[in-house]
Amino acid sequence: MYLRRLTTFLFALLFAALCSGANGSKPKLVVGIIIDQFRYDYLTRFRNDYHGGLDQLLTQGADFTNAFYAQVPTVTAVGHSIFLSGAMPSVSGIVGNAWYDREEGNLVTSVCDWNVKTVGGHDAGETTKCTDASPASPKRMLVSTIGDELRNAHEESKVIGISLKARAAVLPSGHRAAGAYWFDDVTGSFVSSTFYMDQLPGWAKSFNERELPAKYVEQKWEGFPNWSFAAPESKAPYSKIPASPWGNELVEQFTEEAVNGERLGQRGATDLLTVSFSSNDYVGHAVGPDAPEVRDMSIRTDQLLGKLFRLLDQKVGLKNVIIVLSADHGVTSTPARDKETKMPGGYVSVDAAKIVNDALTSRFGSADWIVPGVKPVFISIAPRLAMLRPLNTTFIALRRTRYWRINGFTSRASTRESSWRTASPVISSRSL
């Protein structure tokens, strides 16, 4: 309910702006920004350190605080798919960063698409399962975005999505984007896929030819000398760049080139630009929300946003730009930090999938009950076995719940039947 309020607010804001009267007051450019893993309290905890873009938004914009997540799991793909579609996972089909797809009989990611090829970088080739390096498109998203509806109404409008992560570039920009671009840690280039284009535009090629990541791998993070960004023995020499301040710098610089190269907001049509800053998430996962690195990343992001806004003001005029900023998810304290501060918490050092498989084997006999999945986030029972054997899904779920509670790492569980009774009227089979 609460996230629906936020979505309604954002949609009302953008709809009012995009559909304002014929008096020339329509915005020239709408910019949707996500800072990955940016908890709301980062705005208040570090407020005195913000003097750039975040400060502009807080002092000159509207801060909508009555916003909550209404879905599980709160991960990158789901948050980015909701941002400009308003659709919950049960409707959009984006139920996680990755999941076991029963129709394909394999583990898939939210944007993996073997029907397209990577453009402008390393092509990993088709493998037995999708990875973050696989070619990408929005084909798994079952709903439209604001960008899609904008282009349906105005073909001349242009939509561009940019991020380090493929899913963070693809999902907010939607199906009808002129291009979605993400970072290839093998070549150090921003790439796209044949879903959007056969080759990169000239401005993107020129940016990649500058080879900025090669400089960043040797650059030191001031104040944090123990961080290293070189991966000399890796097949992906730039794999450490995302978990560094330089990842966001690359995104901001590439975004500036996109604004100039595509002439966004400068062509007489309303354009949409989506930008997701991913490095906050990579660093946050490495050290937790209470580490000084997170504060430093937040301050740097504020400065980068200020730099981007100055370009937009110069090229388009900020009075002609609508900027919406959000996060895709938050983060909780690390168990180590909880222990240090005498708070309850800890690590679960058990194989949950094995526990479930053993429990089912003890009751129904030996079988490969658990299909490949994103353990322990998703544990799925093989669908054909569930149909062939005399299994009652409620009994399985309840037995699993009892077993997990005995082992002390589950507080609550529900069956598929109870989910049908209490969840949204529209439930995706992917989530079941």
Give the residue numbers annotated as catalytic, written as ranges.
Answer: 76
CB 246 within 8 A of CB 229: yes
| Whole-Å CA distances, 8 to 13, 16, 57, 83 | 8, 12, 20, 11
CB 328 within 8 A of CB 79: yes
CB 11 within 8 A of CB 150: no
Token representation of residue 164: 């380090």
Please give the single-letter amino acid code of residue 56.
Q
The position carrying tokens 């104040």 is 223
Length in residues, the chain: 432
Task: Quickly list DSSP for 52-82.
Answer: SHHHHHHHHS---------SS---HHHHHHH
Give the 3-state secondary structure percentages of the chain, helix then strand then coil, rounded to 5. Answer: 40, 10, 45
Token representation of residue 70: 């209404």
Q: Are strands 98-101 and 189-193 parallel, antiparallel or unpaired?
A: unpaired
Q: How far apart are CA 257 and CA 270, in angstroms?
A: 18
Bridge partners of 181? 162
Q: How far apart are CA 318 and CA 22, in angstroms?
A: 20
What's 371's DSSP letter? P
